[in-house]
Structure 1
Amino acid sequence: MGTREEDGWVPIEGVVDHLGQPIFSRAAAGGWPSAAFIIGAEVLEHFAYNGIFMNLISYLTGAFQESTASAAANVNALSGVSLMLPLLGGFIGDSFGRYRITVVSSLLYVLGLAMLVASAVAPSLRPRECGGGGSRETCLPSRFQIAFFFSALYLVAVAQGGRKPCAQAFGADQFDGDDPEECRSRSSFFNWLYFGICSGTGFTVLLMPYIQDNIGWGLGFGLPCASMAVSLALFLAGTRTYRYCASPGKNPVAQLAGANGNFSRSRRGPPAEEAREALLHGGSAGEEEGVAEGPRGILRLLPIGATCLLYAVVFAQSSTFFTKQGSTMDRRITPSFLVPPAALQSFISLSVFAFVPIYDRLFVPIARAFTGRPSGVTMLQRIGVGMALSVTAMAAAATVERKRLQTARDFGLVDLPDAAIPMSLWWLVPQYVLFGVSDVFTVVGLQELFYDQVPAAMRSLGFALYMSIFGVGNFISGFLILVIQQVSAWWEENWFSDNLNRSHLDYFYWLLAALSSLELVLYLYFARSFVYKQRQKGSAAA
């Protein structure tokens, strides 16, 4: 005779199925089958997002004729907004349901991307070509064209702000952190979520810059729009398999299906009724505890988040100045084929693609045997290792940039910004690889920390707080660029000249490496005093 749980009398605490009924078997809903839908949808969403933003600096300096510094600041500001808005999106998702907000935000996402396609193909919305004699130079865009284009971009940012924290937290909700086996699976979920995201990003980097630079921005924006539409369809396809957070008298999924928000009457008879009541009363108590612990649970994470901001600043450089550096170098594979400079961002994804299986299948089991922790090492240890690697990445970037500038001087190309410097683009690969490996440690570690260490009722907001680190980091990056541009102009040695051969990005990279080193010291100080919350059922802290 089986146990009560095996007989179906004891429900999984705090979750319901798509009809709002208690779940009595772990195989009935949730777990890896449900997570697979969400990971797949996230892969496609990241294809859409990165397909727009990773090469956006080229579009702004080309069709919109912005300066390099202005375009980089605009990209950083837009990225910052898209990563700060999840604070609002996470709060709304925790209040009205992560599933529901994911669906609504995805619809807005598709609309914003469709507007971008229109801005690139509609004659009245795109900057027109005004050069004669076969020239394809564009005229300055009108105010209406600028307003429409940036409205579309910021609509995408708003939609992502609602979708990302809810979708990713909803994916982690498919695993029970209080069950030892599912706790290990949830930790692994964060690794494979990032693996999937970076796999999609790597494909995006290899494909989209070539399409955008050589075929056109209509298709360059159209493919991300189609990808986001498929992402939404895939997410909806998993609706019947998901676990949903139970909230007495207010179940968003049951409401979406037309119910009144309460659990449907079970057909299992009195034992199921009794289990349902226990779930409801237990959920209510959990809600009160979550409210009580919420502010304290959030505040204790703020020092950790604050001491990761420079990591986010470093993270922002890969899609801006790294790309502009690559555009000045020898990009030939064959005499007629040039590697798009933004394509080197694929090495971040390829590094993640290669390292996540090593980390999850080799490093974690070995570390687990020594520490007894489900994730092998603590989340804070994992984050710290990645931060140290980011310092190394910036030092490598500064060293390579110094060599690039010296090569330009040696060959008399300083005042020929359009000439390719006889230095291979592949010199930039090590800094991208170091970025990718550091992401496996720091980014995934932050995701898990800000999901795991907040009350269950606030996990979308926890994810949003993790994302806000990178949003604030982008704002800091943009602010530093503008301030340094003004200050360095007084020295008549502009660090961010449009002619990169006369700029000093190496100075900027060394500055970031020094600031990141100082930040790492502060992080270690706060990490030593951080106390993990206790598991309800005695499972080890990850």
Structure 2
Amino acid sequence: MDTLDREIQTPNSGRKQGGLDREIQTPNSGRKQGGWITFPFIIGALAGLTLAAGGWMSNLIVYLIQVFNLKSIDAAQVSNIVNGGSSLFPIVGAIIADSCLGCFAVISIFSSISLLGTGFLALTATVNSLRPQLCIDGSSFCKAPSKVQFLVLYAGIALASIGQGGTRFTLATMGANQFRKPQQQGIFFNWYFFTLYTASVVSSTAIVYIEDNLSWGLGFGICVAVNFIGLAIFLLGNWFYLHDKPLGSPFMNIARVMVAAFKKRNLPLSPLSEDYYDEHNQAMTLEAAGPTNSFRFLNRASLKAEGDIGSDGSIAKPWSLCTVQLVEDLKTLIRIFPLWSSSIFLSTPIGIQLSLTILQALSMDRHLGQHFKIPAGSMIVIVLISTSIFLTLIDRFFCPMWQKLIGNSPSALQRIGIGHVLNMLGMAASALVESKRLKMVHAYHLQSQPTSVLPMSALWLFPQLVLVGIGEAFHFPGQVALYYQEFPASLRSTATAMIAMIIGIGFYLSTAIIDFLRRVTSWLPDNINNGRLDHVYWASTVVALVNFGYYLACAMLYTYQNVGKEVADSSG
């Protein structure tokens, strides 16, 4: 975890952090607020909420197939949509927290929504009338769920996904807001990610095992209980928190720049810096007196015109005039957008692999010894474990070795590039393993027996998951560092949530791709033993290869905006 500590602390040397230096309300100055006294409450809440989310999300595909009689590919599609939604909602939570409600209110509301959703799921597992009649293995006359059963099920999934997504990264922001020093914030982020991964591993193993071997009702009931405990722990810490005051959404400022530039599209640009409105304040520290020459058409947004400025020197028409800093912030986002888009297509093959790997595991021998059977929903925990292990190995061994050979530590762009390569290798390994599995299916004549288990160990799936996990250990911290360094100060509070947005879009794209392949090919029938899942993986490998080429082009053309200045500041 030292890697994440280093990545997060480096960008903040010698300057304030956007989002973390916001105005703090301390209504009761007579008591100590903020600091490490808040740590147990925030980390305890994170642990409870992560356990609850992982307990039902990790095993959702199996639950839909075994309890609600959904077809395997349909269940995988639902899982992809759920993963995408829970990854998109962090950015929604961050925007709401920044613009109007603040972190505490957002976490409290979304945690309650998550509790309600997991409660609905627990009801579907315990109340007989809320789920269809149990389907006998191999039967072709399985009863589909009724409209009411689907309504309760999807309401629970939707509420639980929204709640989980709205709290995950908002908790990280609120936790960092409790500390003033970058070093303390870095230590907090270390523990945040450690808790996130540890709780995910526990939920994907222990709770999933209970669901598969004891009772779905008991497993989902545990999810409800730990969600409630996490919410209660968070609320109990209210007495000690520093509460952030919402300062307005930075995305509104981006819209202002575009509107103002469009309104003044016919005005000629001036070569004089004094003709542009430049107002320095705590949140915006642009050193240049005038706008830069890149994307010059946007400079009109800060070009002064009659009536734009009031008698006191402030902006009289906010949708007609913006500061030079706001214009430059938008330019920074435009420059980084190609790199950001390449990360979307990095997440898409991973979304395809994670959902289809569970279907592979269901058809393979998952026994370890005579008495223990690996739950299919726990297979993805290999990704979490390998990521956690290699985060430390990369920091202790890879980075020092890289520095000895190259002369400096690997940059954020280099780390992301290595993650791209490992992702491609993971997809290729998936294709090779599936080819071997299909050969055994044909050898044992199991094409028409979807419930039969191959005499092929599910451990064959581990290498592809390990490769993807190692890739995440490279590209995930690399993306955290890149966006945190390069995003404008006014947007750094949502920079990390943008990574979750990338993952969400990637999962939705993976869902669309799977649906497209089902329509135009015969690769993904309901019985994967009759399909060509290996072709899907090879297609994902090709997509990853093309995207890697696109990433290389973007990375070579990209010029760091803040890293050089950061290094100079830290050395000075």
TM-score normalised per structure 2: 0.75
Cα deviation, residue 528, structure 1: 2.5
Give the structure 2 partner of residue 230 of structure 1.
229
SS in 1 for 2:368: strand
2:417 maps to 1:384? yes
Percent sequence identity over matched residues?
A: 30
Letter in 1 for 2:125: A
SS in 1 for 2:380: helix
Cα deviation, residue 332, structure 1: 2.0
Letter in 1 for 2:167: R
Cα deviation, residue 104, structure 1: 1.8
**Which moves more between the two structures, 419-428 or 92-101?**
92-101
Cα deviation, residue 296, structure 1: 3.2
Give the structure 1 partner of residue 165 of structure 2.
161
Alpha-carbon distance change, 412 to 126 in structure 1, aligned in 2, over 3 angstroms: closer
Letter in 1 for 2:460: W
Structure 1 segment 434-473 matched on structure 2, within 5 A: 434-473=467-506
Give the structure 2 partner of residue 333 of structure 1.
368
SS in 1 for 2:51: helix
Structure 1 segment 277-426 matched on structure 2, within 5 A: 283=282, 291-363=326-398, 376-426=409-459
Cα deviation, residue 444, structure 1: 2.8
Alpha-carbon contact 1:50-1:204 (below 8 Å) kept: yes
SS in 1 for 2:448: coil
Alpha-carbon distance change, 530 to 28 in structure 1, aligned in 2, over 3 angstroms: farther
Select which of 504, 523, 537 maps to 2:551: 523
SS in 2 for 1:307: helix
2:215 maps to 1:216? yes
2:125 maps to 1:117? no
Alpha-carbon distance change, 294 to 233 in structure 1, aligned in 2, over 3 angstroms: farther
Distance 2:234 2:397 in 1: 31
Distance 2:96 2:214 in 1: 40
How far does the alpha carbon of each residue in 1:103-137 deviate from its partner, in whole angstroms, 9 at most, with x for none?
Answer: 221121112211221222234423344879xx9x9
Letter in 1 for 2:21: G
2:108 maps to 1:103? yes
Distance 1:319 1:214 in 2: 22
Structure 1 segment 260-279 matched on structure 2, within 5 A: none
2:116 maps to 1:81? no
How far does the alpha carbon of each residue in 1:150-207 deviate from its partner, in whole angstroms, 9 at most, with x for none?
Answer: 012111222233223322233344566xx7xx26x65665555333322211112211
Select which of 541, 557, 565 maps to 1:513: 541
Alpha-carbon contact 1:209-1:342 (below 8 Å) kept: yes
Letter in 1 for 2:108: V
Cα deviation, residue 484, structure 1: 0.8
Cα deviation, residue 485, structure 1: 1.1
Alpha-carbon contact 2:91-2:497 (below 8 Å) kept: yes
Letter in 2 for 1:211: I
Letter in 1 for 2:146: S
Select which of 59, 65, 68 maps to 2:72: 68
How far does the alpha carbon of each residue in 1:127-149 deviate from its partner, in whole angstroms, 9 at most, with x for none?
Answer: 344879xx9x9742210110121
Cα deviation, residue 297, structure 1: 3.8
Cα deviation, residue 218, structure 1: 1.4
Letter in 1 for 2:209: Y
Alpha-carbon contact 1:93-1:460 (below 8 Å) kept: no
How far does the alpha carbon of each residue in 1:222-251 deviate from its partner, in whole angstroms, 9 at most, with x for none?
Answer: 21222222222333455466555566899x
Give the structure 1 partner of residue 10 of structure 2.
none
Cα deviation, residue 98, structure 1: 2.3
Select which of 18, 21, 27 maps to 1:14: 21
SS in 2 for 1:308: helix
SS in 1 for 2:130: coil
TM-score normalised per structure 1: 0.78
How far does the alpha carbon of each residue in 1:357-391 deviate from its partner, in whole angstroms, 9 at most, with x for none?
Answer: 33345555676799998xx4322222221121111
How far does the alpha carbon of each residue in 1:248-297 deviate from its partner, in whole angstroms, 9 at most, with x for none?
Answer: 899xxxxxxxxxxxxxxxxxxxxxxxxxxxxxx95476797875554334
Give the structure 1 partner of residue 300 of structure 2.
none
Distance 1:241 1:531 in 2: 42
Letter in 2 for 1:81: G
How far does the alpha carbon of each residue in 1:19-45 deviate from its partner, in whole angstroms, 9 at most, with x for none?
Answer: 16999xxx9844x76566544433332
Cα deviation, residue 419, structure 1: 1.9
**Which moves more between the two structures, 295-304 or 434-443?**
295-304
Alpha-carbon distance change, 536 to 378 in structure 1, aligned in 2, over 3 angstroms: closer
Alpha-carbon distance change, 483 to 355 in structure 1, aligned in 2, over 3 angstroms: same
Cα deviation, residue 504, structure 1: 1.0
2:510 maps to 1:503? no
Alpha-carbon contact 2:428-2:541 (below 8 Å) kept: yes
Letter in 2 for 1:338: K
Alpha-carbon contact 1:397-1:506 (below 8 Å) kept: yes
Letter in 1 for 2:525: S
Letter in 2 for 1:413: L
Cα deviation, residue 471, structure 1: 1.2
Give the structure 1 partner of residue 154 of structure 2.
150
Alpha-carbon contact 2:365-2:458 (below 8 Å) kept: yes
Alpha-carbon contact 1:313-1:477 (below 8 Å) kept: yes
Distance 1:499 1:337 in 2: 26
**Which moves more between the two structures, 416-425 or 513-522?**
416-425
SS in 1 for 2:447: coil
Structure 1 segment 171-250 matched on structure 2, within 5 A: 171-174=175-178, 182=182, 186=185, 190=189, 192-239=191-238, 245=244
Give the structure 1 partner of residue 258 of structure 2.
none
Distance 2:414 2:89 in 1: 28
Cα deviation, residue 325, structure 1: 0.4
Give the structure 1 partner of residue 277 of structure 2.
none
Cα deviation, residue 399, structure 1: 0.8
Alpha-carbon contact 1:190-1:447 (below 8 Å) kept: no
Distance 2:168 2:281 in 1: 29
Alpha-carbon distance change, 169 to 14 in structure 1, aligned in 2, over 3 angstroms: closer
Alignment coverage as a number of residue pairs: 482
How far does the alpha carbon of each residue in 1:419-476 deviate from its partner, in whole angstroms, 9 at most, with x for none?
Answer: 2111111111111111221111112322343344333443343233221111111111
Letter in 1 for 2:339: I
SS in 1 for 2:379: helix
SS in 2 for 1:495: coil
2:518 maps to 1:485? yes
Distance 1:52 1:21 in 2: 40
Alpha-carbon distance change, 149 to 239 in structure 1, aligned in 2, over 3 angstroms: same
Alpha-carbon distance change, 498 to 452 in structure 1, aligned in 2, over 3 angstroms: same
Letter in 1 for 2:117: G
Alpha-carbon contact 1:311-1:390 (below 8 Å) kept: yes
